[in-house]
């Protein structure tokens, strides 16, 4: 959903070589993603004069809802705010890139509710589907006592024995969780980290089939600190052991997610864009695409497609896409991506067997890894669901949504639904070591040219681009300059 601009956008005129000099400016922000928009608005609220280099296309990135027939809006998968607050909240100044965001969740919520004035609605608690059974999502609550209902008695006994062995080891792995200091999981692979913390049975029943759905060709070798990128949990051995024994002392309250009260996540993007457009001290320059960045005698020079170069000498931040970033830095390696397929359906509320908002699907018998409410504009008494799965050419053509939902224990037998839309290949950045190395190489290449912007989101590192991370980076932009 696109907001109309409340203030003029100063657009670079095409087909001229006369440079545009950006003057009377304290900060240049290049990019139209969430982090860039929050950074521009935050700096402007402190009194800084901001110039936002806003792409003509792609504002809001994948958080914009897709328009459909009859004023229906579809979210691109499960879009939620996580305001779960750790026991010890921390000042915003303590935020560090790639570290835990939950100590700062209150700052994110304050920004959304107070600065954006966006009304929010809580979701029902997330659930997990396995073998046709629905249980509370143990990845968010850490309460694995539902294991008793999901696996055979033999598997349960093996999980207990294997985690007993891990906990009693005289020489635990340096990547074992829960032994005091948090290990640097970037030094090991996901498969290895799962086996040494969960044991082979829990790993084979839950972690491997779930990770396989999202990253079939690379999950085993992905850096273990990037598990959140494919929504795959890593538990302490003690957490798994206690859950299997039905005794747990490390539970946390069930996560309550929030989404805009408008019913679609694009309302968040629209409100953010409207606030940026309405800020008196944000000047916007709309451009097609920047093609290079250089430092010429202390000035940054940015060339653009079909337009004059832009010059500025003030600090700047960069929040473009990874593909764009590699082009700007001269990195010729392609960006490794994962294809995700999404099928949106409309279904009668009475046909749902659960108060469904978000269901993580660990069942290995289906390619779907998540089902969620994901849109607004359904007929009265109906809901819009998104079913996310491994993507590829024509993968949605043979997909049977009714039988899949029934198998997962979500749909009443004999119920019908209406397919609204299907996307075979929604691309997301792969959490690979190669992508991480190329991100570092791009930073070094720009620095060699004397160009050192403050980076936003994925450009910092693959584990620093979740939604809360992007908002927090925008909120702390003045500290980074």
pLDDT of res. 251: 56
**CA neighbor of 201 nearest in space, from 159, 245, 151:** 159
CA dist 359 and 420 (Å) reads 20
Q: Reduce the DSSP state of residue 404 to 3 states and report it.
A: helix
Contact between residue 460 and residue 96 where contact means Cβ atoms under 8 Å apart: no
pLDDT band with cut points at 50, 70 and 90 for residue 58: confident
The predicted-structure confidence for 293-352, as pLDDT tens digits, reads as follows 999 999 999 998 888 999 999 999 999 999 999 999 999 999 999 999 999 999 999 999
The predicted-structure confidence for 372-386, as pLDDT tens digits, reads as follows 999 999 999 999 999
pLDDT of res. 5: 36
CA dist 349 and 357 (Å) reads 12
pTM score, whole prediction: 0.93
The predicted-structure confidence for 73-127, as pLDDT tens digits, reads as follows 999 999 999 998 776 789 999 998 888 888 999 999 999 999 999 999 999 989 9
pLDDT band with cut points at 50, 70 and 90 for residue 452: very high
pLDDT band with cut points at 50, 70 and 90 for residue 4: very low
Residue 7 has pLDDT above 80, yes or no: no
The predicted-structure confidence for 240-276, as pLDDT tens digits, reads as follows 999 999 987 765 666 789 999 999 999 999 999 999 9
Q: Are strands 27-30 and 316-318 parallel, antiparallel or unpaired?
A: parallel
Give percent of the chain with pLDDT exceeding 70. 95
pLDDT of res. 256: 81
Q: Across the chain, what does the average pLDDT equal?
A: 91
Mean pLDDT of 421-442: 94
pLDDT of res. 97: 86
pLDDT of res. 16: 61
CA dist 293 and 347 (Å) reads 49
pLDDT band with cut points at 50, 70 and 90 for residue 365: confident
Percent helix, strand, coil in the chain (nearest 5)? 35, 25, 40
pLDDT of res. 6: 36
216: left (phi over 0), alpha (psi -120 to 50) or beta: alpha
CA dist 406 and 402 (Å) reads 6
Residue 61 has pLDDT above 90, yes or no: no
**CA neighbor of 238 nearest in space, from 170, 159, 182:** 159
Place of tokens 């939902």: 405
pLDDT of res. 2: 34
pLDDT of res. 9: 46
Place of tokens 């008695």: 153
The predicted-structure confidence for 223-246, as pLDDT tens digits, reads as follows 999 999 999 999 999 999 999 999
Between residues 15 and 222, the one the model is more confident about: 222
Residue 481 has pLDDT above 80, yes or no: no
Contact between residue 476 and residue 95 where contact means Cβ atoms under 8 Å apart: yes
Domains and CATH numbers, the chain: 10-65+265-334+432-480 (3.50.50.60), 66-79+123-137+254-260+337-429 (3.90.660.10), 143-245 (no CATH)
């Amino acid at each position: 959903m696109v907001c109309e601009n409340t203030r003029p956008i100063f657009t670079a005129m095409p087909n001229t070589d006369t440079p545009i000099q950006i003057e009377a400016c304290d900060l240049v922000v290049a990019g139209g993603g969430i982090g860039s928009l929050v950074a521009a608005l935050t700096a402007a609220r402190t009194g800084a004069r901001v110039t936002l280099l806003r792409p003509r296309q792609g504002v809001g990135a994948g958080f914009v809802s897709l328009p459909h027939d009859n004023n229906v809006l579809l979210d691109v998968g499960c879009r939620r705010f996580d305001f779960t607050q750790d026991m010890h909240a921390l000042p915003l100044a303590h935020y560090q890139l790639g570290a835990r965001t939950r100590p700062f969740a209150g700052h994110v919520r304050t920004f959304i509710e107070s600065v954006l004035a966006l009304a929010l609605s809580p979701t029902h608690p997330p659930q997990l589907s396995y073998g046709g059974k629905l249980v509370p999502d143990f990845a968010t609550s850490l309460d694995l006592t539902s294991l008793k209902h999901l696996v055979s008695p033999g598997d349960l006994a093996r999980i207990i024995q294997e985690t007993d062995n891990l906990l009693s080891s005289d020489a635990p792995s340096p990547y074992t969780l829960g032994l005091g200091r948090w290990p640097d999981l970037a030094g090991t692979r996901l498969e290895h980290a799962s086996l040494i913390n969960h044991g082979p049975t829990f790993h084979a029943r839950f972690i491997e089939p779930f990770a396989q759905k999202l990253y079939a060709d690379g999950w085993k070798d992905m850096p273990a600190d990037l598990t959140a990128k494919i929504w795959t949990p890593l538990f302490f051995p003690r957490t798994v052991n206690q859950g299997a024994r039905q005794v747990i002392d490390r539970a946390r309250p069930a996560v309550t997610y929030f989404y805009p009260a408008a019913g679609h996540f694009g309302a968040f993007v629209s409100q953010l864009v409207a606030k940026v457009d309405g800020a008196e001290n944000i000047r916007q320059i709309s451009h097609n695409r920047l093609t290079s960045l250089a430092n010429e005698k202390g000035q940054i020079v940015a060339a653009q497609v079909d337009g004059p170069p832009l010059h500025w000498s003030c600090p700047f931040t960069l929040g473009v896409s990874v593909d764009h970033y590699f082009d700007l830095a001269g990195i010729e390696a392609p960006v490794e991506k994962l294809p995700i397929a999404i099928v949106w359906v409309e279904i009668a509320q009475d046909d749902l067997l659960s108060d469904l908002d978000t269901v993580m699907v660990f069942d290995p018998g289906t390619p779907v890894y998540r089902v969620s409410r994901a849109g607004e504009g359904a007929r009265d008494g109906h809901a819009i669901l998104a079913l996310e799965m491994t993507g590829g050419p024509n993968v949605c053509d043979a997909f049977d949504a009714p039988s899949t939902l029934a198998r997962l224990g979500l749909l009443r037998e004999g119920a019908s639904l209406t397919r609204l839309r299907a996307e075979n290949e929604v691309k997301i950045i792969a959490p690979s070591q190669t992508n991480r190395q190329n991100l570092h190489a791009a930073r070094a290449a720009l620095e060699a040219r004397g160009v050192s912007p403050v980076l936003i989101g994925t450009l910092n590192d693959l584990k620093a681009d979740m939604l809360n991370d992007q908002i927090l980076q925008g909120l702390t932009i003045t500290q980074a300059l």
